[in-house]
C-alpha cells in the first residue's frame, strides 16, 4: 500500500513536471510568435511608409525636375513661322483657346498655368504627347478656365459701382503659386 502510494506520488509529480514543461513551452511559443508578429507588423508598416514616401518623392521629382525651358524650346521650334496662326490650326487638340495665337498659347502654358499653380508642364501633360487628355488635371484646367470666364463676364461685370471695372480674376487670384487654394489666412 505504501509502495503503491509512493508510485502514485511519483506519477503525480511527473505529471506536474510534464504539465510545467508544456505550460512553459507553450508560453515561450506565444512570446516567440508574438515577437515575430510584432517584427512582421513593424517591417510591413515601415515598408508601406517607404512606398508612400517614394511615391511622394516621385511626384515631387517629376514636377520639379522637368526641363520646362527645354520642352518649350522644342515646341517653339516645331511651330516656327506659325506663332501668329490660331492655336486650333497649329495644335491638335484645342477646345477652348482655338482663337489664341499658337505662340501665345505656349506663353499661357508657361507663365499663367505653370506659374500660378506652382507646377511644371507634366502636372497636366504627358510630355510625350502634348495633345493627349490622359491627365485629369488638363481637363480640370479647361473647366477652371471656363469658370474664370464666367466669373469675369457674367458675375464681376454685374457688380455695380466697382472702382476697378472691368474687374478680373485669373488663375493666380486663387491659386497664388499653389495647387490647392487656401481657405484660411493662417495656413
Which residues form the interface with ligand HEC (CB under 6 A)? 68, 71-72, 75, 91-97, 109-110, 113-114, 117, 119, 121, 123-125, 130-131, 137-138, 140-142, 144-145, 148, 169-171, 173-175, 179-181
Q: Least distance (Å) from ligand HEC to the CB of residue 177?
A: 12
Cβ closest to ligand HEC, residue 161 vs residue 180: 180
- Give the helix, strand, coil percentages of the chain, each rounded to 5: 65, 0, 30
Q: Least distance (Å) from ligand HEC to the CB of residue 131?
A: 3
Cβ closest to ligand HEC, residue 128 vs residue 161: 128
Cβ closest to ligand HEC, residue 93 vs residue 165: 93
Cβ closest to ligand HEC, residue 54 vs residue 172: 172
Q: Least distance (Å) from ligand HEC to the CB of residue 117?
A: 6
Q: Least distance (Å) from ligand HEC to the CB of residue 95?
A: 4
**Helices marked H in 66-101 — which ranges?**
68-78, 87-90
- Alpha carbon distances (Å) from 110 to 122, 155, 169: 11, 28, 18
Residues 6+ apart with CB under 8 A from 175: 116, 117, 118, 181
Q: Least distance (Å) from ligand HEC to the CB of residue 62?
A: 12
* Coil/strand/helix, residue 185: coil
Peptide bond into 166 cis (omega under 30): yes
Return d(Cα 168, Cα 33) in angstroms, integer: 67
Output DSSP code: residue 91: S
Cβ closest to ligand HEC, residue 5 vs residue 180: 180
Return d(Cα 151, Cα 157) in angstroms, integer: 8
Amino acid at each position: 500500500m505504501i509502495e503503491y502510494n509512493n508510485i502514485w506520488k511519483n506519477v503525480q509529480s511527473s505529471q506536474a513536471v510534464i504539465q510545467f514543461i508544456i505550460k512553459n513551452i507553450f508560453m515561450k511559443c506565444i512570446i516567440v510568435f508574438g515577437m515575430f508578429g510584432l517584427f512582421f507588423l513593424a517591417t510591413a508598416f515601415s515598408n508601406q511608409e517607404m512606398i508612400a514616401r517614394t511615391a511622394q518623392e516621385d511626384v515631387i521629382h517629376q514636377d520639379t525636375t522637368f526641363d520646362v525651358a527645354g520642352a518649350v524650346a522644342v515646341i517653339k521650334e516645331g511651330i516656327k513661322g506659325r506663332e501668329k496662326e490660331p492655336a486650333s490650326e497649329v495644335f491638335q487638340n484645342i477646345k477652348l483657346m482655338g482663337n489664341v495665337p499658337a505662340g501665345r498659347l505656349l506663353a499661357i502654358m508657361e507663365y499663367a498655368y505653370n506659374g500660378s499653380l506652382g507646377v511644371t508642364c507634366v502636372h497636366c501633360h504627358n510630355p510625350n504627347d502634348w495633345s493627349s487628355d490622359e491627365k485629369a488635371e488638363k481637363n480640370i484646367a479647361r473647366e477652371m478656365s471656363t469658370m474664370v470666364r464666367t466669373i469675369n463676364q457674367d458675375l464681376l461685370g454685374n457688380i455695380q459701382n466697382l472702382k476697378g471695372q472691368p474687374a478680373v480674376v485669373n488663375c493666380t487670384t486663387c491659386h497664388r503659386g499653389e495647387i490647392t487654394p487656401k481657405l484660411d489666412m493662417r495656413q
